[in-house]
């Protein structure tokens, strides 16, 4: 049971005056304050949210009229600092606003708070946040997943009907899976990245975390499409994403062989197999599909991602954004001290790996090779998606792990992303929807489609969601 009505219904009732935006904002703020021990929220935007709510009540229009939402704290939102949960950005106030936020606000949505994340979105648990670790709403001794862990926890804790996340290697889908939410990673380029702290620019995407597929589709519908401020953006489907067609019967679904292999917990596998049987019984054809380069995807990601991270993080030099080391006596020292005191362990690790794989002498052996295998992976996905409509498997190899369990072992932490990174490297849309539980913790079913088939994917996922409840 959700404390919130479907998003389209909230907006409709605000438009007719049956619900007041001011009350919705108060409900969100009260829930955030009541549940602050979960550490999902970095900052609330009370004054701004209340002001906007009053303006909306005076003129209640927009497809998201009065709908409160929470942005991961790597989105630039007016009236708040954008920290990306990193000490180096403490005190950095947004000079402009992310396109995604602009578009949501233009339809009447209200940003009430900013959510916790792994610093700079590097991580799978929020334990890399420089501020705090978010707790899983199902079991507070476990992580919520990451890096959009604050966003996923906030939605499941009913702090708002939806939250925004970013997904560079799984950061929307993994926390959705661990927390029992719906997490949508659109086709690369479908949502503008303007005004969002860059992680790895060739795989970064923005998407919603919600409780239902219909809510995710409506939010995507509002945010998506070309934007002059991000040259990689693509046109949205002319039919939009808000009205979905049923798309299960007669469809061909490929179960990814490599995603059901050794390493996936048997209890997780059992839930996915049960979901597959349900999908089959509802009239979809199910076949097994092999993507032979998939076992290399994680290695490829952890070369390409740090390479791009090392470049994107070079701008934080203590001169332009947030933290600057106070007692430096030269510019050189200011750069060094600002960066060494401002960045956390994981950011430093990625800067070192990234500059190493890009350095002359190692470029061919690592970066170039990784790009070659990435191309192979893209070709394999393209080929597979010519013979099947959707690809499917678990979102994560296991349920949410215990806080602290993987923190001293980066390789183990990276392994939690093993099933999510491929969609980012290839640029295809991918969704995680709840598919039962294992050991009383949520399990996520991951479904992917070909690039620009977001509408078909959401339609299919909505139907599957209906079958699995």
Active centre residues (catalytic): 72, 147, 171
Residue holding tokens 């392994």?
A: 415
Would you count residue 417 as binding ligand GLN (CB under 6 A)? yes
Q: At what angle do helices 266-281 and 454-468 cross, to 10 degrees?
A: 100
Would you count residue 347 as binding ligand GLN (CB under 6 A)? no
Q: Of the two residues 31 and 128, which places its CB atom closer to ligand GLN in the complex? A: 128
Would you count residue 170 as binding ligand GLN (CB under 6 A)? yes
Contacts of 361 (CB under 8 A, 6+ apart): none
Q: Of the two residues 415 and 438, which places its CB atom closer to ligand GLN in the complex? A: 415
133 in Cβ contact with 118 (< 8 Å): no
Segment contacting ligand GLN by CB under 6 A, of 52-60, 122-130, 232-240, 245-253: 122-130
CB of 73 to ligand GLN, least distance (A): 13
CB of 197 to ligand GLN, least distance (A): 10
Q: Of the two residues 291 and 419, which places its CB atom closer to ligand GLN in the complex? A: 419
The site for ligand GLN, by CB under 6 A, has a size of 14
Q: How many CB atoms lie within 10 A of CB 95?
A: 10
Structure tokens at 145: 């997943």
99, 147, 224, 338: residue in contact with ligand GLN (rule CB under 6 A): 147
Nearest-CA neighbor of 256 among 365, 147, 392?
A: 392
CB of 302 to ligand GLN, least distance (A): 8
Helix (H, G, I), strand (E, B) or coil at 60: coil
Structure tokens at 239: 């039919």
Nearest-CA neighbor of 280 among 450, 430, 464, 432?
A: 464
Report 171-200 residues binding ligand GLN (CB under 6 A): 171, 199
Would you count residue 306 as binding ligand GLN (CB under 6 A)? no
Rounded Cα distance between 58 and 74, Å, is: 31
Rounded Cα distance between 141 and 323, Å, is: 32
161, 169, 183, 434: residue in contact with ligand GLN (rule CB under 6 A): 169
CB of 444 to ligand GLN, least distance (A): 14
Phi, psi at residue 79, to the nearest 5°? 90, 5
44, 134, 168, 187: residue in contact with ligand GLN (rule CB under 6 A): 168
Which residue lies nearest ligand GLN, judged by its C-beta? 171
Would you count residue 98 as binding ligand GLN (CB under 6 A)? no
Q: Of the two residues 25 and 172, which places its CB atom closer to ligand GLN in the complex? A: 172
Would you count residue 305 as binding ligand GLN (CB under 6 A)? yes
Q: Which residues pair with 394 in a beta bridge?
A: 445
Segment contacting ligand GLN by CB under 6 A, of 116-124, 134-142, 190-198, 385-393: 116-124
441 in Cβ contact with 400 (< 8 Å): yes
CB of 14 to ligand GLN, least distance (A): 33
Would you count residue 398 as binding ligand GLN (CB under 6 A)? no
Would you count residue 122 as binding ligand GLN (CB under 6 A)? yes
In order of 90, 220, 369, 468, the CA distances from 104 in angstroms are 25, 10, 40, 30
N- to C-terminal Cα separation, the chain: 12
Nearest-CA neighbor of 392 among 455, 324, 448?
A: 448
Alpha helices in 365-409 (DSSP H): 369-387
66, 68, 108, 123: residue in contact with ligand GLN (rule CB under 6 A): 123
Site string for ligand GLN, 37-76 (x = CB under 6 A): ----------------------------------------
Alpha helices in 343-368 (DSSP H): 345-358
Segment contacting ligand GLN by CB under 6 A, of 103-111, 120-128, 281-289, 403-411: 120-128
Rounded Cα distance between 163 and 221, Å, is: 15
167, 237, 389, 465: residue in contact with ligand GLN (rule CB under 6 A): 167
Half-sphere exposure of 205 (CA within 13 A, CB side): 35
Binding site residues, ligand GLN, CB under 6 A: 121-124, 147, 166-171, 199, 305, 417
């Amino acid at each position: 049971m959700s404390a919130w009505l479907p998003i389209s219904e909230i907006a409709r009732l605000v438009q007719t005056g049956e619900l007041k935006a001011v009350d919705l904002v108060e409900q969100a703020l009260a829930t955030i304050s009541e549940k602050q021990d979960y550490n999902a929220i970095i900052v609330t935007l009370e004054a701004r949210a209340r002001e906007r709510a009053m303006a909306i009540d005076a003129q209640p229009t927009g497809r998201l009229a009065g709908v409160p939402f929470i942005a991961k704290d790597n989105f630039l939102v007016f009236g708040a600092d954008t920290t990306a949960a990193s000490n180096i950005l403490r005190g950095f106030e947004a000079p402009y606003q992310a396109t995604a936020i602009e578009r949501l606000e233009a339809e009447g949505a209200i940003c009430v708070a900013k959510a916790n994340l792994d610093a700079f979105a590097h991580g799978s648990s929020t334990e890399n946040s420089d501020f705090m670790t978010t707790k899983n709403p199902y079991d507070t001794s476990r992580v919520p997943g990451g890096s959009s862990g604050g966003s996923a926890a906030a939605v499941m804790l009913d702090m708002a009907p939806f939250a925004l996340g970013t997904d560079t290697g799984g950061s929307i889908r993994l926390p959705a899976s661990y927390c029992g939410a719906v997490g949508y990673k659109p086709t690369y380029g479908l949502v503008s990245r303007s005004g969002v702290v860059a992680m790895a620019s060739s795989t970064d995407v923005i998407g919603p975390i919600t409780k239902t597929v219909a809510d995710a589709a409506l939010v995507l519908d509002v945010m998506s499409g070309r934007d002059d401020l991000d040259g990689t953006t693509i046109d949205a489907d002319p039919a939009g994403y808000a009205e979905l067609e049923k798309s299960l019967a007669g469809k061909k679904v490929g179960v990814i062989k490599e995603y059901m292999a050794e390493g996936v917990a048997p209890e997780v596998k059992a839930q996915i197999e049960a979901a597959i049987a349900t999908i089959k019984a509802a009239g979809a054809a199910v076949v097994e599909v092999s993507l032979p380069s998939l076992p290399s995807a994680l290695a490829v990601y952890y070369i390409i991602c740090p390479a791009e991270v090392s470049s994107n993080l070079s701008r934080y030099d203590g001169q332009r954004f947030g933290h600057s080391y106070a007692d430096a006596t030269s510019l050189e020292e200011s750069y060094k001290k600002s960066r060494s005191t401002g960045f956390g362990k994981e950011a430093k690790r990625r800067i070192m790996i990234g500059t190493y794989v890009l350095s002359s002498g190692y470029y061919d052996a690592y970066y170039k090779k990784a790009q070659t295998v990435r191309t192979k992976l893209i070709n394999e996905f393209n080929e597979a998606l010519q013979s099947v409509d959707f690809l499917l498997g678990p979102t994560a190899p296991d349920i949410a792990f215990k806080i602290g369990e993987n923190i001293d072992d980066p390789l183990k932490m990276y392994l939690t992303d093993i099933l999510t990174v491929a969609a980012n490297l290839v640029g295809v849309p991918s969704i995680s929807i709840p598919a039962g539980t294992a050991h009383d913790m949520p399990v996520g079913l991951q479904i992917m489609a070909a690039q620009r088939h977001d509408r078909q994917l959401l339609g299919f996922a909505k139907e599957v969601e209906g079958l699995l409840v």
